[in-house]
Amino acid sequence: MKKVLIIEDEDKIRKIIKTFLEKKSFKIVEVADGKDAIDSFLTEKPDLVILDVMLPHKNGFEICKEIREFGNTPVLMLTAKTQDNDEINSFQLGADDFLRKPFSLEVLLVRVNKLLNISAKGVIQISNIIINEQSRNVEVAGNDIKLSPKEYDLLMYLYRNKNIAVDRDKILNDVWNFSYYGDDRTVDTHIKSLRKKIGQDIIETIRGIGYMLKI
């Protein structure tokens, strides 16, 4: 699970960002005052910092400059000002990206994902589930989940056919291949096990047909 440090003195904005990113399976650390920012950064070692320009006691520019002294952690700057100076200063001090308030949470997510390379090839995110195709690792709400090889293959098969009702015989043929002499109870058993591990709601039973991964 990626950790994001939000340094923002406006409680409402900070809480909105926190709640939104937590639903996207990020771990969030909050700071509301510039004087506590660097201590929190050094203690928490976040993967990304969302940093407001206007903060009490120490502004975002100073904090960004100090963060850069400790390494290359991505910094996304926020400002309510309309002048270009804030954007220019942010990039000159080492910020990686910049957003003006008000902004769409979906735009924020795109920027965050880009900075963290979560949307890179080989990493799939489905709600609170993250699948790494290269390592075949699966996380649910930030926790590593142990899937059997066939459970993983079944999950990926349903993902590639997402929002499509797939009948049991087709699943059996495609996942277990034609040389497997089983029956559709094999599929049901693996679906039941998979639901226990990743959650009950994501795989829907389509009566009289089979199953569908609903996104």
124-147: pLDDT as tens digits? 878 778 888 878 889 887 788 999
pLDDT tens profile 16-65? 999 999 999 899 999 999 999 999 999 999 999 999 999 999 999 999 99
Q: What is the mean pLDDT of the chain?
A: 89
Q: Would you state the pLDDT for residue 183?
A: 66
Mean local confidence (pLDDT), 84-89 = 82
Question: Cα torsion for 4, 7, 8, 13, to the nearest 10°?
Answer: 0
Q: What percent of the chain has pLDDT over 70?
A: 94
Mean local confidence (pLDDT), 205-211 = 93
Domains of the chain listed by start with CATH number: 3-116 (3.40.50.2300), 123-213 (1.10.10.10)
Task: List C-alpha distances in Å: 79 to 16, 33, 53.
Answer: 16, 15, 6
pLDDT at residue 180 above 70? no
Mean local confidence (pLDDT), 4-12 = 96
The radius of gyration computed from the CA coordinates of the chain, to the nearest angstrom, equals 22
pLDDT at residue 178 above 80? no
